[in-house]
A and B are shown apart, each in its own frame.
Chain A
Amino acid sequence: MQNLFLTCIFFVTILATTSAQVDSLYKNKLQLFYSPNVSKTNFNSSIENAHFGFGKEFYQTARPSQPIMGYSFGLAYSRTLSNSDKIIFTLRRNVYGQSSPLAYNYRGVIPSDTLPGYGGLQYKVSVWSYSFSIGYQKEVLRKRLLHFFVMGGIGIDVYDKAILQNYILNRETGVLSYGCCTGYYIKFSTFQKLNGFFYPFQKGFYRIELSVAANAQFDFSKRLFLFIQPEFRYLTNLVGASTEFVSLVPHGDIISINLNLGIGAYF
């Protein structure tokens, strides 16, 4: 806690001392964004050992190896440090996960007696989280209304909830629809979030996030702009989470490639 306090003082000092050097009319930017992402996680042990029994059966049928499409959305605030340097704070909601390949043979048998038109099963694990990061942004090129930045950041990603869903391909119609089961990992309720805010931190239900990104920004008025930002994010395994939670919370690191699309305002 003391380190966090000192870190805050450090950043506030930087802001206060550098803001006077800036020539630009506006020193602050607020951005809203939505980003589709492709993520690949490493939750295999938490699927095989899931507290709902069918996790192991699915895992033995088809080992997960495929990335899935997820998304993030949130807001970012950046403050100009000098003419080309900015510090940026980002808060966002994320969905990551992984899926299995489509497999026909269910542990050596075909469940076609109970499922007419069975053509194979596939399952997916989705994880929801909140993340907060601090980054540094450098403007590398400015061309009239276009700005190009490179940026890097570090942050924390706090686990919220996760589920495992399965799907069945109908071999008469080609439709992949919801199958038999949904498995639920631990989910923090609104009550827990409000009354036990530090619980995920105490139990180690958070990850360290590292990110690098490139950003292209187009000013379409004096105060408003659009931006597109490809971003690569790496999130570590849960920090300090006990192995007793492997069956209850997906453990494993995460790789995510995002394409942030958003709108922002100068002020």
Chain B
Amino acid sequence: MKAIFIIGVTIISTQVYSQVLLRLQVGPSLSYAKMGTPTDNGFMNTGVMPGLTLGVSANNVFNISKVEYELQYALDGHRNEVLNFFEKEEVTARLVRHNIGLLVFYKPNAILISEKKRPKFEFFVKPGIWTQYFIDSSFKYHEDTTIHNPTASKSINWGGVLSFSLVKRKLKKKFAYGFDLRFYYGLMNLSTLHDTKWFTRKIEATFSIPLSN
């Protein structure tokens, strides 16, 4: 009975894996935070901080081609430039976060397909949701000691994401690379402080290459 179960699981796993299309995603990002109070347009945007994203996306899992998953590591956060400082003209306050994230996209058919010119591309618009867990975070203000795990923030985050994806069509043995431009819109209030809201905003541009056929 046990042997049959193992064989069954192995066959199913093989079937699932053989159909999955894996892609490696890597690219830079720009993130900032929207903070403040929800009344009277009382939000302020922090300064933008550059970051990095590294992920693996999977399509056609269980033969479902309309859904795409991505597991990613992301370095992001926000920063502020503080002017009119006593000893210096300008100092920096920077919050850095290391995240593990999971994204789920709805992937409809390609909107535009370029047939005439080479290379031939397909263009997709993919809405999705994302969730992140902060594995580490730190805040540094000027020359002060770096503070890890700022207590005013929650440790998970989630929101919506919209991806514009340009993928080269696979022709013979040519390399089917792609580009993604993504907009992240954080829906979770990260602040633990009373009367203060904190939302994530991020733009990400990634380059992708296939890991499987």
Between A and B, 28 residue pairs with Cβ closer than 8 Å are A61-B84, A99-B44, A101-B81, A101-B83, A104-B82, A104-B85, A104-B86, A105-B86, A119-B82, A119-B93, A126-B41, A163-B40, A165-B42, A169-B82, A171-B93, A172-B150, A173-B147, A174-B141, A174-B152, A175-B35, A175-B153, A175-B193, A176-B35, A176-B44, A177-B37, A177-B191, A177-B196, A178-B36
A residues less than 8 Å from B80 (CB atoms): 102, 120, 169, 176
B residues less than 8 Å from A138 (CB atoms): none
Do the beta carbons of B85 and A69 come within 8 Å of each other? no
B residues less than 8 Å from A120 (CB atoms): 80, 82-83, 93
Closest approach, in angstroms, between the C-beta of A21 and any C-beta of chain B?
A: 34
Per-residue CB proximity of B29-70 to A under 8 Å, as 1/0?
000011111001111111000000000000000000000000
Known contacts A165-B40, A167-B44: A174-B84 contact under CB 8 Å: no
Residue of A nearest to B34 (CB): A69
Closest approach, in angstroms, between the C-beta of A225 and any C-beta of chain B?
A: 16
Assembled-state Cα–Cα distance A169/B33 (Å) = 13
Assembled-state Cα–Cα distance A227/B84 (Å) = 44
Q: Any chain A CB within 8 A of the CB of B202?
A: no
Closest approach, in angstroms, between the C-beta of A147 and any C-beta of chain B?
A: 16
Known contacts A171-B141, A178-B196: A126-B40 contact under CB 8 Å: yes
Assembled-state Cα–Cα distance A171/B146 (Å) = 10
Using C-beta atoms within 8 Å of the partner chain, give the interface range for chain B. Answer: 35 or more
Assembled-state Cα–Cα distance A16/B147 (Å) = 70
Which residues in A have some Cβ–Cβ distance to B below 8 Å? 61-62, 68-70, 95, 97, 99, 101-105, 110, 119-120, 122, 124, 126, 163, 165, 167, 169-178, 182
Apart from A61-B84, A171-B93: 10 A-B pairs, beta carbons within 8 A: A97-B41, A104-B84, A105-B84, A105-B85, A119-B141, A169-B93, A171-B141, A173-B153, A174-B141, A182-B40
Closest approach, in angstroms, between the C-beta of A86 and any C-beta of chain B?
A: 26
Assembled-state Cα–Cα distance A182/B91 (Å) = 27
Q: Any chain A CB within 8 A of the CB of B139?
A: yes
Do the beta carbons of A69 and B45 come within 8 Å of each other? yes
Known contacts A99-B44, A103-B83, A120-B80: A175-B141 contact under CB 8 Å: no
A173 contact from B34, B46, B82, B151, Cβ within 8 A:
B151
B residues less than 8 Å from A101 (CB atoms): 81, 83
Assembled-state Cα–Cα distance A224/B81 (Å) = 46
